[in-house]
Structure 1
Amino acid sequence: TPRRSLLEDGSGQTADWQVSGSGSRVGRVVDTFRADKVLRYRANECSVSSKTGSGGGGVQLTIPSSVGQDQLTLSMDWFLQHNTSLSVTYAVKDKKPHTFHVHYLPSDTLLWTRGTRSIYYGVGLSYGWRRFTRNLLVDLQKGVAAMGHVPRTLRKISRSRVQVLSLQLCGEGRLDNLTLATAEHLQHFYAAADWLTRHQDHTGGWPITVPRTIVKDILQLASGWYSAMAQGQAISLLVRAAHHSGDLTYLHAAARATHLYTVNSTQGGVRAYFPGGYAWYEEYPTTPSLFVLNGFIYSLIGLYDLKETSTGPVSAKASELFNTGMTSLKTLVPLFDTGWGSLYDLRHFTTSRVPPKPARWDYHTTHITQLLLLSALDPDPVLRDTAERWTEYLHGKRASHN
């Protein structure tokens, strides 16, 4: 069970906020929308140093010593306005301690940095009340990685090295139920599900907005491509959100996500064909095709989840796509067997200019786990036999030579 420390709820639990700057103030008021007391703040004279990233003025809260160092998940109900922001100050243990500042503010830009101490996250441009939940450790790790040139000791920041020192509120807004916890898995789950429903495009997909190079000058993808693996994992999450909440909005989004499975990868979709007419849902829809194994199986698992949790035409379509994919998998999985491990993809077959891509052992174990899962859903022995043989490869067994 996660450990939680409630810092501020506007009524029963109130924090010791420090107010500085002309016109800055805090108060507890009854919010008509929430029908409860909340914290209202105004801090229009906040400043952030361009050199250190530290903030001055505004409304600040020093984190009490009673909050555990492992309580690095922040959550609150937050009323955002256009000038609202939240800044978190961290101390990171090292030979010489480092201080970082992570700022959350209204913007559609996901992440950017300034200098060597200041990290910014855009939280979108929707205003009004929202549930705000962030893993502060992950946000710090990603932000430091985005800075580029950092000391080697900061490339991997463990939980035990991090302490949250303070919070700073700027602009005008309201908040309720401000909490630091060891984890908030369910809140992160619904935050992801809601993001998927808001950002699904007209194709039913979620475009990858960065280019991807698999093999330079041969296998490349321009920004805006779709991934069958991403579609499948999004479907798996959405059907679980629908089941847990009873909200069919999530199930409808999952159903729309199957459209790209029917569109050829050469036409902007994720469907490719292996010689012989075997359909394959591509993690990376390059031309020529890659036939990545683990991403294909993740796309099938999403289809299975949807067909089992839906009815009518939605279930029928998901079933057809799943069965088509399973036929391809059971036919083609022997091509991924090297006699001592497994292949990540079939690039050496579709592109004669590159060598085979053996799967790393962590990917090899993923292949085994995926095949064992599917073998519980499909009695064809090729799935379990392959998984068992590949398991033996982990222990040093090799196929016999001539």
Structure 2
Amino acid sequence: MQGKDEKFLLLPYNFPWKIYELEPPWYSAMAQGKALPLLIYAYQLTGSEKYKETANGILNSFFIDVTQGGITYKTSNSGWWYELYAKNDSKKPKVLNGMLWTLVALDEYYRSTNDSKAKFLFDQGITSLKKNLHLFDADGFSYYDILKTQNKFEYHVIHIDLLNKLYNVTGEDLFKSYADKWSSHNLTQVVRQAPANIHLDSNFVPFVDYGIISGINIGIQRNPVTVDHIANDYYGKFLLHKDNFSKRAFLNNVDWLVDNAIEIRVNNSVIPSNMYQNLDQKS
């Protein structure tokens, strides 16, 4: 049975992604992770419990294995991998940038809340990253995923930047070693990612026009990760200017995350009992 704290919330993707054989709905650890600190910042701005409650439900989702409809590949002694493109019957790509973004977000969330579940999840992820990082090394360059998909310039740079951030947090020399190794690669001939076709609606919440991908007309869709990014941009502008427009646009995007998170049920308790606690904001 689920305990009183075991509400599990996921942000669904409602379009197919044939590159990894995904049919809707599917989920993303990166979308879940990057939403966490944004929800806490919204709670700090407004005092509204809905943001804190949604954050807790999204954090709980990291305890659900992909085989149970979640976003995590669990092992007993090699850590947990948080999947960017998660569904039980997918290709299991283990996308590196998604894992790195998720770990950085979990650490940011933990520093804002002191939530022991976030610390546990971060530590499990760091263990998995250390075990798997060598699999992404393309002789001095980085692969996009564990399937050895050719990387783009932007994602390679993200890998370096986020590994350096994780090195600063953990002191793990392995992360610094790969960041330095990949930084030495000549990037002048590396293919760059085409810019996303992103538009904002009247509430300044983004949608993406994907057009046709892998022969499928995906068209205009909401992408929770894109909402995370836009919310983060507006939050940064609000911190800089303290203006009502940026605050409202930020909250509109976070409200979209709250409104579109769906609850799923699991058959057994997946959160260790010693991790139950209320989110305790740092003063």
TM-score, L = length of structure 1: 0.42
Distance 2:146 2:10 in 1: 25
Map of 2:123 onto structure 1: 323
2:136 to 315, 336, 339: 336
Q: Give the number of the structure whose alpha-carbon radius of gyration is greater.
A: 1
Distance 2:129 2:32 in 1: 18
Q: Tell me the SS of whatever aligns to 1:261.
A: helix
What is the Cα deviation at residue 248 of structure 1?
Answer: 4.1
Give me the CA root mean square deviation: 2.1
Distance 2:32 2:9 in 1: 9
Q: State whether residues 79 and 126 of structure 2, in contact with CA within 8 Å, keep that contact through their aligned partners in structure 1.
A: no
Q: Tell me the SS of whatever aligns to 2:18.
A: strand
Distance 1:245 1:359 in 2: 40
Deviations 1:315-364 (A, max 9, x none): 111110111001111221121111131000012xxxxxxxx312111110
Query: How many residue pairs align between the two structures?
Result: 180
Task: Assess, with a 3 A threshold, how the Cα gap between structure 1 residues 371 and 323 changes in structure 2: closer, same or farther.
Answer: same
Distance 2:78 2:174 in 1: 20
Distance 2:156 2:105 in 1: 21
Task: Assess, with a 3 A threshold, how the Cα gap between structure 1 residues 317 and 274 changes in structure 2: closer, same or farther.
Answer: closer
Task: Assess, with a 3 A threshold, how the Cα gap between structure 1 residues 272 and 376 changes in structure 2: closer, same or farther.
Answer: same
Relative contact order higher in (CA < 8 Å, ≥ 6 apart):
2
Distance 1:394 1:249 in 2: 47
Map of 2:92 onto structure 1: 289
| Matched residue type, 2:54 | A
Distance 2:33 2:186 in 1: 28
Q: Whose strand proportion is higher, 1 or 2? A: 1
1:258 to 59, 83, 87: 59
Query: Does the alignment pair 1:300 with 2:95?
Result: no
What is the Cα deviation at residue 389 of structure 1?
Answer: 1.1
Query: Does the alignment pair 1:389 with 2:181?
Result: yes
2:11 to 206, 230, 234: 206
Query: Does the alignment pair 1:367 with 2:172?
Result: no
Q: Whose helix proportion is higher, 1 or 2? A: 2
Q: Tell me the SS of whatever aligns to 2:21.
A: strand
Q: State whether residues 93 and 145 of structure 2, in contact with CA within 8 Å, keep that contact through their aligned partners in structure 1.
A: yes
What is the Cα deviation at residue 228 of structure 1?
Answer: 0.4
1:346 to 137, 146, 158: 146
Unaligned runs of 5+ in 1: 1-201, 348-355, 397-402
Distance 2:185 2:77 in 1: 29
Q: State whether residues 341 and 358 of structure 1, in contact with CA within 8 Å, keep that contact through their aligned partners in structure 2.
A: no
Identity of aligned residues (%): 31
Distance 2:176 2:51 in 1: 33
Map of 2:261 onto structure 1: none
Unaligned runs of 5+ in 2: 1-6, 189-283
| Matched residue type, 2:120 | E
Distance 2:140 2:123 in 1: 29
What is the Cα deviation at residue 305 of structure 1?
Answer: 2.0
